[in-house]
Structure 1
Amino acid sequence: MTPTPADTPAASDQSPVTPRRRVLAPGHLFCFGLGYSALHVADRLLAAGWRVSGTCRSAEKQAELRARGIEAHLFDRGRPLADLGRYLADVTDLLASVPPDAAGDPVIDLHGAEIAAAATRFAWIGYLSTTGVYGDCGGAWVDEASPLRPSGERGLRRLKAEEAWLALPQPAHLFRLAGIYGPGSSALDSVREGRARRVVKAGQVFSRIHVADIAATIIASMARPNAGAAYNVCDDDPAPPADVVTYACALLGVAPPPVVPYETADLSPMARSFYDDNKRVSNARMKRELGVTLAFPDYRIGLKSLFDAGF
């Protein structure tokens, strides 16, 4: 019988923590990088009466965000914000979802001093990281107390970025996200578009998370701040990626693509790197400390919900 995350020794060894509760009255969220996950957080907060502002990288995205009621500013490594201090003047909460590049974390590199100067004024700071910081664990369970041993360059960049956000006068909350899926971005879409492949590597499993559960977890953390805490954000069912494609094909009523052994698969270096890490990620701390109940505890429930909703 496969153990559940709560059954693993690493999960049970963690000391229980009860973060202080915060009345989550409408405030002002500033988000560096208004991408797929961050926008789901923004939409929930906008619906609750919050003000949301942040950054994006193109004029087209800026116009789209402003049409949704989000004050957006253009930002990337070659285009720092001219007056970040003014933008942060009444910000209550700060979220960063910009990935690090080869030079480091662009947000910290360009605006770390300004963020540090304002950090203690914020009620909450969050940073979106990945479970890649744990590296390859041979399929074993990992939790937030597990060693951080990234196996590739991207994971190492994430770990360095985490360290930078933890070094602020008020440390950030770290959200180590598993593979993200949701409306417009799931195995259903890859099957429909003819991109789906069933690459099989013996014993390989991945953890994943529906974007709606990411948003719910981040907002739950905002309501229960615990500066410096790290949370694995994943569902309850680490599974082989080929199984996910097979299920998506069953929902769509199409034949699944043929199984391709990993050893002979024609994969790009980027795609092949995803198979370097093999682990089962525990979400026990997220549930215990933040009171999160997953809306989509496994990929079958998540994909069926997307299918039924026309995605």
Structure 2
Amino acid sequence: MNLMIFGAGFSGLAIARTLAGECGFAAGTTRSEARFGELRSAGLSPFTYEGGQPSPQLHKALSKTTHLVMSIAPDAGGDPLLDAFAGGLGEIMPKLEWIGYLSTVGVYGDHGGEWVDETTPCRPVSKRSVARLAAEEGWARLADQVHVPLAIIRLSGIYGPGRNALRTLEQGKARRMIKPGQVFNRIHVEDIGGATALLARQCLGGIYNVTDNVPAPPQDVVECAAKLMGVAPPPETDFETADISPMARSFYSENKRVSNARIRAAGYEFLHPDYEAGLGALWRDAAWAG
């Protein structure tokens, strides 16, 4: 396996660490050379990429890539790589065998707290989720042109070392926001790495929800973190009157329970099947602070 990760951030590095010992070649991109050391520590040869056509050096690495992971979020202009690769993937990556595109469960939109799975029609609400769905469709077209399997990996709220309720509680930023009936799914970053690695190893295509087993109210997660730390949880705040950013409020406009049955049927066993297991492991291993 020769791996290329476009956008080697929090999730991309977890994928790299999971597959590090299985790659003949592994590389990743970042916008800043300041992060090169971080990429190297995860086993990746680092390249800068800020959009547009890849540099000659990056182009050379792409020519031997067999497994491509795309983890760059679309911006106001859309997915930057869809424009860069508009002429087709075959000439740029002649050895390509599999593509993984990291998307979001936000593409499903609001379902009033009901269960959704990969067959549920998408009706995204936010502009960012609309852009994600358009990017999924664009990558599907590129993959079809070269007859390469594409795994669309829809992620729920990501947490892990340095990015979790324990950390926000310690920083004094945690809020116990109450909106009756509201639930969210979550996913530990290690399970993003593990599930993506399984799909890459088997060159599996299709849509997969990579999310935990237990959708839960957000205040329950804060209470769990407080119990682990042995501190009192913050006071309850009514969502309707809370002073929060428009982006934070927009997350609460979507309410659904997301099934992960398909990725489990593909053979993936979650390391952290719910938020209690995930937060417990972060606290036990002293990894919560990052």
TM-score bracket for the superposition, by shorter chain length: over 0.9
**Within the alignment, does 1:102 sit opposite 2:80 as a pair?**
no
Alignment of 1:65-214 (within 5 A): 65-66=39-40, 68-77=42-51, 80-83=53-56, 84-113=58-87, 115-118=89-92, 121-168=95-142, 169=145, 170-214=148-192
Alignment of 1:25-44 (within 5 A): 27-44=1-18
1:263-304: CA deviation from partner (whole Å, max 9, x where unpaired): 00111011111101000000011111x201111111001101
Alignment of 1:161-310 (within 5 A): 161-168=135-142, 169=145, 170-227=148-205, 229-288=206-265, 290-310=266-286
Q: Which residue of 2 aligns with 1:13?
A: none
**Farther-moved stretch of structure 1 (237-246 vs 53-62):** 53-62
Report the number of matched residues: 282
Structure 2 residues not aligned, in runs of 5+: none
CA-CA distance at 1:87 after TM superposition = 1.7
Cα separation, 1, equivalents of 2:93 and 2:264: 27
Q: 1:157 to 1:299 in 2, by over 3 A?
A: same
1:45-92: CA deviation from partner (whole Å, max 9, x where unpaired): 223454210210111102432355421111113x64222432212111
Cα separation, 1, equivalents of 2:94 and 2:262: 25
SS state at 1:125 partner: strand
Q: 1:201 to 1:120 in 2, by over 3 A?
A: farther
- The answer as to whether partners of 1:165 and 1:171 remain within 8 angstroms in 2 is no
1:120-177: CA deviation from partner (whole Å, max 9, x where unpaired): 6312110000000000000000000001100110110000000011111235210000
Q: 1:224 to 1:48 in 2, by over 3 A?
A: closer
**Farther-moved stretch of structure 1 (84-93 vs 140-149):** 84-93
After TM superposition, the runs of 4+ consecutive aligned structure 1 residues lying more than 6 A away are none
1:84-103: CA deviation from partner (whole Å, max 9, x where unpaired): 43221211100000000111
SS state at 1:129 partner: strand
**AA at the equivalent of 2:54:** L
Structure 1 residues not aligned, in runs of 5+: 1-26
- The answer as to whether partners of 2:116 and 2:258 remain within 8 angstroms in 1 is yes
SS state at 1:276 partner: coil
CA-CA distance at 1:116 after TM superposition = 4.9
Q: 1:41 to 1:50 in 2, by over 3 A?
A: farther
TM-score (ref. length: structure 2): 0.93
Cα separation, 2, equivalents of 1:233 and 1:262: 27
- The answer as to whether partners of 1:85 and 1:114 remain within 8 angstroms in 2 is no
Cα separation, 2, equivalents of 1:204 and 1:50: 45
SS state at 1:292 partner: coil
CA-CA distance at 1:224 after TM superposition = 2.3
- The answer as to whether partners of 2:156 and 2:211 remain within 8 angstroms in 1 is yes
